[in-house]
Amino acid sequence: MSYIQKHIQVVEKLINGYNNSLPYSVYLKDYFSKNKKHGSKDRKSISHLSYTFFRLGNCLAELEFNTRLNVAIFLSNNKMPLYAEPLYQDSLLGNWPIELEHRIKIVKDIYPSFNLEELLPFSTADLSEEIDINKFIQQHFSQPKLFARIRPGKKVIVLNKLQEAGIEYKMIEDSCLELNNATSLDTILRLNEEIVIQDYSSQKVATIFNYINNIGAQLKVWDCCAASGGKSILMYDSIPNVYLTVSDIRASIIANLKERFKRAGIKEYDAFVANVAENNTAPKNKFDIVIADVPCTGSGTWGRTPEYLSTFDSNTLQLFTDKQKQIVLNVAENIQKGGYFIYITCSCLKAENEAIIEYFNTKYTNYTLLHQTILEGYLHNADTMYVAILQSV
C-alpha cells in the first residue's frame, strides 16, 4: 500500500469522526498532538487531503469515500498532482484539462447525479442577489490567496524587503498585495506597522467610505464588533482625523487589539468590553460613524474553511440573524443625526445581508440607504463579503 493510500485511510477515519463544534484545523491539531508517529510530511498530506475532500461539499454524497475524494482532487487541481498518480491508474478521470469548467463536464458525464449546486448546504435562492452563482460555487475548489495591505508611506520599504527576500507577490491594487497562502511575512516585514494582513474584500470595504461627505472634520467612530481591529486600522489609514472607539465581547480580544494598535501607531482611542447584542452595553455618547462587522455564518469565507460546506447546521442561521437584528437596533441610537451606519458581514446569504438592512429600515425610518454591495471575492481568490452604508437624516 502506498503512503498516499495510508493517508487516505487516516483522513476517512478523521472525517467520519468530525463534527463542526470546532474548526477542522483545531481538530487536526489535537489529533496530531496525540499521534506523534506522523512527521511533518504526513501532517501536510493528511491536512491537504482532508480539505480537498471537504471542497466537494455534499456533492455525490451517495458514493463511497475514495471515489468522492478522487473527484475532489480532480476538480481542485488543474493538473494531476504527483501524489495522486496511484489513485487514478484505473480511473475514468484520466483526462485532466486545465479549465475547471471542462473538468466539471467530465465529472457530470461520468456521474450523471453530480449537481454542482449540492456543494452548498443551502439553496442558491438564499444567496444575495448580486452573486454570480456559478463563479461563487466554483471558487470553493481552490484555496483563497493571502492578501496584505501596505500601510500609508510604507510601499517602497515593503516592496524592497519582499524583493530582497525573494518573495513572489502580485500587486493588484495600489496598496494591496496578493501572495501564496503559505507565505510567511512576519520575519520579513513589520506586521501592522508596515503591512496589515487583510483579505482583499476586507480592504475593499474602504470604497464605502466614499459615501461619507464630511471628511476633514474630526469624526468620532465606534467600531462596535472590532475583533482584532482590522477595519478600525483601515479607517484610520483611509480617513484623516478620526477618533476611534472600539469594543468587543471578550477582554482577551480587546487586549490583542490594544497590542495591534500599539504596533500600528494608534495611540489615542477608547476601548471597552461589551456585548452589543445586549441593549444595556452601548456607550451613552453619540458617534459620527458606527461600524458593525457583525457575527455571522462566515459563509463567504468557506473557501478557507471548506469543512462547513458539508457540516453547516442550517438551524444556526436563525441564531445569527436574531443576533444581527439585535445589534443593529441597539447601536442605531448611538449615531447622531447626519451620521453614518456601516454594516458588514462575511456572509453570502441574503438573510444576513439585504434582509437585515430591510429589517433595520422598518424599525428606523429616519435612515437612508446610501449604498449596499457584495464584495465579489470569488473573482479574486478572496473572501466574499457584504457591506452597506446608511445615513441618519
Across 311-335, average pLDDT:
95
pLDDT at position 2, please? 80
Q: What does residue 320 show for φ and ψ, rounded to 5 degrees?
A: -70, -45
Buried b (16+ CB within 10 A) or exposed e, 33-54: eeeeeeeeebbebbbbbbbbbb
pLDDT at 379 over 70: yes
| Residue-range domains of the chain with CATH | 3-120 (no CATH), 146-197 (3.30.70.1170), 201-392 (3.40.50.150)
pLDDT digits (tens, 9 = 90+) for 250-290: 999 999 999 999 999 999 999 999 999 987 667 888 999 99
In Å, what is the CA distance from 169 to each residue of 142, 145, 164? Answer: 18, 11, 12
pTM, entire model: 0.95
Q: What does residue 303 show for φ and ψ, rounded to 5 degrees?
A: -65, -25
Going by pLDDT thresholds of 50, 70 and 90, the confidence category of residue 1 is: low
pLDDT digits (tens, 9 = 90+) for 99-136: 999 999 999 999 999 999 999 999 999 999 999 999 99
pLDDT at position 136, please? 98
pLDDT at position 95, please? 80
pLDDT digits (tens, 9 = 90+) for 221-233: 999 999 999 999 9
Amino acid identity at 281: T
What does pLDDT average to over the chain? 95
Cα gap 142→134, rounded to integer Å = 14
In Å, what is the CA distance from 55 to each residue of 71, 136, 143, 377? Answer: 10, 13, 9, 17
Window from 83-97, 143-157, 194-208, 327-341 with minimum mean pLDDT = 83-97
Only one residue has cell 477608547, namely 270
User: To the nearest whole percent, how much of the chain has pLDDT over 90?
Assistant: 88
CA dihedral of residues 248, 252, 257, 259 (deg, nearest 10): 160
pLDDT at 215 over 80: no
